[in-house]
Amino acid sequence: MFDDTIAAIATPLGEGGLAVVRISGKNAFAIADKCFQPARKNSLKPSVAPTHTIQYGKIMRATENAGFQPASSTRDILAGKMPALPADFQIVDEVLLAVLRAPRTFTREDTVEISCHGGLLPAKLVLDTLLENGARMAEPGEFTRRAFLNGRIDLAQAEAVADLIHSRTELALAAANEQLAGKLSQRINQLRDDLMLTLAHVEAYIDFPEDDIAEETKEKLLARLENGISFMDELLRTANEGQILRRGIRAAIVGRPNAGKSSLLNQLLGHDRAIVSPIAGTTRDTIEETANIRGLPVIFIDTAGLREARDEIEVEGIRRSRESLAKAEFILHVLDASEPLTSADENYLAEFADKKRILVLNKTDLPVKLILPKQTSNQQPATSNVCSLNGQGIEALKDAIKELIWTGEIKAEMLQVTINSRHQDALNRARSVARQAADALRENATLELVAMDLRIAANAVGEIVGKTTTEDLLDSIFSTFCIGK
């Protein structure tokens, strides 16, 4: 399969100034030669052009009556003799064609990247022309998969490519760039090397059973193993933060009708997204939008006001509100500070007591009449005073949201090692057996059992960078990529 030459559109579909169609594989230049007509004396066919150069010309496509057209000779091309356009060929688009020779390419294969005019039709016709001349349509993530299989990047770096594309904040982008640069991989490889070195020492003593492990040697092995376990603990502590940066965190905005939930959403987003009206019950459906809150992607869900429904539409809106509330990782409970606390407010305060939350006291530009009930210290949620009408207090609320979901300062070195859920699973398995190995070694257990646990731990750590993989694992990872990547 990976001997094929693949092609795909590498830019998003839709209207735009430019689109890029990518070809990679051993026949990339031969296929491009069949389709590309140089348009200037100093423009060359891809097969004879120097690497990392841009050639200007046209993509040509055979019509139904076209027969085989022999390629121009290299001598004619280098002499600047441009063949006349055959009558049975048509111009698809005017393009710039980049020639990238292996191994100095993303996939470490011969690669051609064609920049054509943006829009659905030009890019599609260019791609169709390449497929008609011998290329195969790329599978999702196949370019990046080839980069991994050809040793250009490891598996953690391959995942960082997807993280980079899906970044929604500068912090998420910085974390993806750190991983793509290999910062996490360097530490994972060092961890695996230490486990393998410890395993080699243990297996050496298995091969020579007449020699007991000296106490000093055992202490050194244990110290190396404990350091590895401590490092795994350090990485595992970044899992939650890593998932927040990659996928965001969901926050439901809840409260009684007309408390100002939609106005609050608009203020947090910085633009009008939800309809705002003094009429209670304006929001009938949930609205989801992502905002950058101090560098963290937060997915806010504006919900229908919680009350007894008065019609079928409102029944459905409140049902969806409850569903969003159940899925949210924290809530912003909006209360109208200009009105006394109602029995409904008290019921909702009690109902949401077990949820991570911030009480948002809205309409503080009016005389404050709301008095919150006293609660025990372990139940006392953070409060924030705002006016959704003029934006007063919104910046302080953003600070409170950031502190609720990410305690402490966001440091650059933290972004270098934020792991994802796959890394977390592998490290949990590695840590568990590494701890078993350390305990067994300390208690002078059978060395064969120690070696088996160390090997399992090293293999689990190796999964992170792809030193131990299966086809199913690779299929699972790369199937989430877009086709042109």
Note the pLDDT tens digit of each residue in 128-171.
Answer: 999 999 999 999 999 999 999 999 999 999 999 988 988 888 88
Q: Is residue 147 part of a domain?
A: no
Residue 181 lies in a domain: yes
Do 338 and 215 belong together in one domain?
no
**What proportion of the chain, given as a percentage, has pLDDT over 90?**
42
Residues in the chain: 485
Asked if the structure places residue 483 within a domain, the reply is no
Confidence at residue 86, expressed as pLDDT on a 0 to 100 scale: 53
Q: List, for residues 91-132, the tens digit of each pLDDT value.
A: 999 999 999 999 999 999 999 999 999 888 999 999 999 999
Tell me: do 273 and 400 sit in the same domain: yes
CA–CA distance from 41 to each of 71, 78, 235 (Å)? 16, 8, 57
The answer to whether residue 454 sits within a structural domain is yes
Interval 207-217 mean pLDDT:
72
> Same domain for 260 and 398?
yes
Of 66 and 134, more confident: 134
Instruction: Tell me, yes or no, whether 422 lies in a domain.
Output: yes
Domain harbouring 123, CATH code: 3.30.1360.120
Laid out side by side, the sheet with 36-38 consists of 36-38, 53-62, 89-100, 111-117, 18-24, 6-9, 136-137
Q: Are residues 272 and 396 in the same domain?
A: yes
Residue 80 has pLDDT above 50, yes or no: no
Of 26-35, 106-115, 366-375, the poorest mean pLDDT is in 366-375
The per-residue pLDDT for 351 is: 80
Query: So what's the pLDDT on residue 171?
Result: 85
Q: Is residue 29 part of a domain?
A: yes
Which pLDDT band, with edges at 50, 70 and 90, does 341 fall under? confident
Q: Which CATH number goes with the domain that contains 227?
A: 1.20.120.430
**Residues 280, 388 share a domain:** yes
pLDDT reading at 64 higher than 80: no
Binned at pLDDT 50, 70 and 90, residue 45 comes out as: very high
Q: Residue 52: which pLDDT band, with cuts at 50, 70 and 90?
A: very high
Give pLDDT, residue 78. 46
- Cβ burial of 371 (10 Å; 0-12, 13-18, 19+) is exposed
User: Is residue 413 in some structural domain?
Assistant: no
Q: Distance between CA 181 and CA 161 in Å, rounded?
A: 10
Short-list 159, 60, 53, CA closest to 100: 53
Average pLDDT over residues 293-317: 71
Q: What is the pLDDT at residue 51? A: 96
* pTM > 0.85: yes or no: no
| Candidate from 125-134, 310-319, 434-443 with smallest mean pLDDT | 310-319
* pLDDT the model gives residue 243: 83
Residues 446 and 377 in one domain: no
Lowest mean pLDDT among 7-16, 267-276, 347-356, 453-462: 267-276
pLDDT at 314: 58
Domain match, 219 and 253 both: no
Residue (of 248, 235, 224) closest to 166 by Cα position = 248
- pLDDT category, 271, cuts 50, 70, 90? confident
Q: What is the 3-state secondary structure (H, E, C) of the chain?
A: CCCCCEEEECCCCCCCCEEEEEEECCCHHHHHHHHEEECCCCCCCCCCCCCCEEEEEEEEEECCCCCCCCCCCHHHHHCCCCCCCCCCEEEEEEEEEEEECCCCCCCCCCEEEEEEECCHHHHHHHHHHHHHCCCEECCCCHHHHHHHHCCCCCHHHHHHHHHHHHCCCHHHHHHHHHHHCCHHHHHHHHHHHHHHHHHHHHHHHHHCCCCCCCHHHHHHHHHHHHHHHHHHHHHHCCHHHHHHHHHCEEEEEEECCCCCHHHHHHHHHCCCCCCCCCCCCCCCCCEEEEEEECCEEEEEEECCCCCCCCCHHHHHHHHHHHHHHHHCCEEEEEEECCCCCCHHHHHHHHHCCCCCEEEEEECCCCCCCCCCCCCCHHHCCEEEECECCCCECHHHHHHHHHHHHCCCCCCHHHHCCCCCHHHHHHHHHHHHHHHHHHHHHHCCCCHHHHHHHHHHHHHHHHHHHCCCCCHHHHHHHHCCCCCCC
Judge if 434 and 345 occupy the same domain.
Answer: no
Computed over every residue of the chain, the mean pLDDT equals 84
* pLDDT tier at 279, thresholds 50, 70, 90: very low
Q: Indicate if the pLDDT at residue 409 is higher than 70.
A: no
Residues 391 and 434 in one domain: no
Average the pLDDT over 79-86 and give the result: 49
pLDDT range class, residue 79, cuts 50, 70, 90: very low
User: Considering 138, 166, 186, which residue would you say is the last residue of a domain?
Assistant: 138
Max avg pLDDT among 256-260, 346-350, 459-463: 459-463
Please give the single-letter amino acid code of residue 94.
E
400 plus 422 within the same structural domain: no
pLDDT of residue 225: 94
Residues 466-484 pLDDT 10s: 988 778 888 888 888 888 8
Tell me how many domains the chain contains: 3
One domain for residues 230 and 257: no
**Nearest-angstrom CA–CA distance, 303 and 202:** 59
Q: What is the pLDDT of residue 411?
A: 66
Of 349, 375, 405, the domain-final residue? 405
Contact 171, 247 (CB under 8 A): no
Please tell me which residue, 182 or 205, carries the higher pLDDT value. 182
Parent domain of 304: 248-405
Provide the CATH number for the domain around residue 311. 3.40.50.300
Task: Look at residue 214 and tell me if it is in a domain.
Answer: yes
Nearest to 295 by CA among 175, 417, 180: 175
What is the predicted pLDDT for the residue at 280? 47
Residue 276, pLDDT > 60, answer: no
Over residues 318-339, the mean pLDDT reads 81
User: Per-residue pLDDT for 463 more than 90?
Assistant: yes
Is residue 266 located within the same domain as residue 234? no
Mean pLDDT in residue range 167-192: 90
Mean pLDDT, range 213-232, rounded to an integer:
89
- How would you label 225-264 residue by residue, b for 16+ Cβ within 10 Å and e otherwise? beebbebbeebeebbbbbbbbbbbbbbbbbbbbbbbbbbb
